[in-house]
Amino acid sequence: MPGDAGPPGDSGNEDTTAERYRRTARNPLTPRDAVAELLASMNRVIEITEPDPQLPAALSFSRSRQAALAAKRGIAKGLAERDVADRAEPRRRELPERLQTALRAIDDCISGMQHLDRKRLEIAAAASQEAFAVASDGCVSIGTADQRSVGDEAAVSRARYEHRLMSVLAEMAALQERSVATITERLGADEPGIPWSFIECAKAGVELSTFETGGAGLPPSPLRDLLDRLAADMASAKRRFGPNR
């Protein structure tokens, strides 16, 4: 029937196969070594399915051979397009490593903040048990009712708790600052406009789900602000440079 997919090996199926492998080879996140191995595999299939006139037609591997030839054609085209794109944007070759570093920085920041927040809560709870008042900014004060009778020991204890809390908050701020700096530099988000990394991924039709959801679920922080901005940048990149634009 018109519109139905043909049997394996027909021209429609071969075009679909070639396009699928073209996208794989062109994908900047697919390691070139993996693409080279894929191409070698197709060459092996083509070699072992070489028609043998001494074999009966029933033992022909023509469909497998046609599929492998279509895949090889797609890979070659995808690699050629990839080379052109890499010459236009040399940093594109670094994209897999850059994205991995950025994603690792996000994970490390979130887990590190959770660890530090638990530490902050433990210190604050210990201070509260000694009747100290703890503010969200890390300041520790002596309760109003006890201010007149406070001794040197209580004053020293108050200062110790406050120092510990301030140190934890400083660690949290430093972690956020380092993480945000790493993520923005790795993605090219420290430059004006849409990050080049997102533009290249959009052109290749690559989905980056981590950068499409923003900072939902995270508490207010520089990391959350950055992820929200990156989500907007990714949406813009897909609209302007995606395959369906």
Residue 30 is assigned to a structural domain of this protein: yes
Mean predicted confidence (pLDDT) in 192-220: 90
Give the residue from 45, 70, 88 where a domain finishes: 88
Asked if 117 and 176 touch (Cβ cutoff 8 Å), the reply is no
By the 8 A CB rule, do 183 and 148 touch?
A: no
Please report whether residue 4 resides in a domain. no
Residues 161 and 79 in one domain: no
Residue pair 212/236 in contact by the 8 Å Cβ criterion: no
- Let me know whether 84 and 103 are in one domain: no
Residue pair 49/68 in contact (Cβ under 8 Å)? The answer is yes
pLDDT for 146 beyond 90: no
Per-residue model confidence (pLDDT) at position 245: 62
pLDDT of residue 7: 41
Residue 240 token pair: 């302007």
Cα separation, 17 vs 214, in Å, equals 35
Q: Is the pLDDT at 105 greater than 90, yes or no?
A: yes
How many structural domains are present in the chain? 2
Cross-strand bridge partners of residue 132: 142
Look at residues 41, 60, 88 and tell me which one is the last residue of a structural domain.
88
Q: Which domain holds residue 73?
A: 11-88
* 144, part of any domain: yes
Are 176 and 111 within one domain? Answer: yes
Are 33 and 137 in the same domain? Answer: no
Summarize the confidence of residues 199-223 as an average pLDDT.
89
- What rounded mean pLDDT belongs to the chain? 87
Q: What kind and span of H or E run contains 88?
A: helix 62-88
Q: Are residues 128 and 236 in the same domain?
A: yes
- Based on the fold, state whether residues 142 and 100 are members of the same structural domain: yes
Assess if residue 2 is contained within a domain. no
Q: Is the pLDDT of residue 181 over 70?
A: yes
State pLDDT tens for residues 8-57: 445 668 889 999 999 999 999 888 999 999 999 999 999 888 876 666 55
Residues 219 and 124 in one domain: yes
The last residue of a domain, from among 88, 121, 151: 88
96 and 180 together in one domain: yes
204 and 172 housed in the same domain: yes
In this structure, is residue 157 part of a structural domain?
yes
Task: Tell whether 19 and 96 lie within a shared domain.
Answer: no
Q: Are residues 34 and 103 in the same domain?
A: no
Residue with tokens 């075009």: 15
**84 and 96 fall within a common domain:** no
- Domain membership of residue 1 (yes or no) is no
Residue 60 has pLDDT above 90, yes or no: no
For residue 43, is it within any domain? yes
Tell me the pTM. 0.76
Does residue 116 sit within a domain? Answer: yes
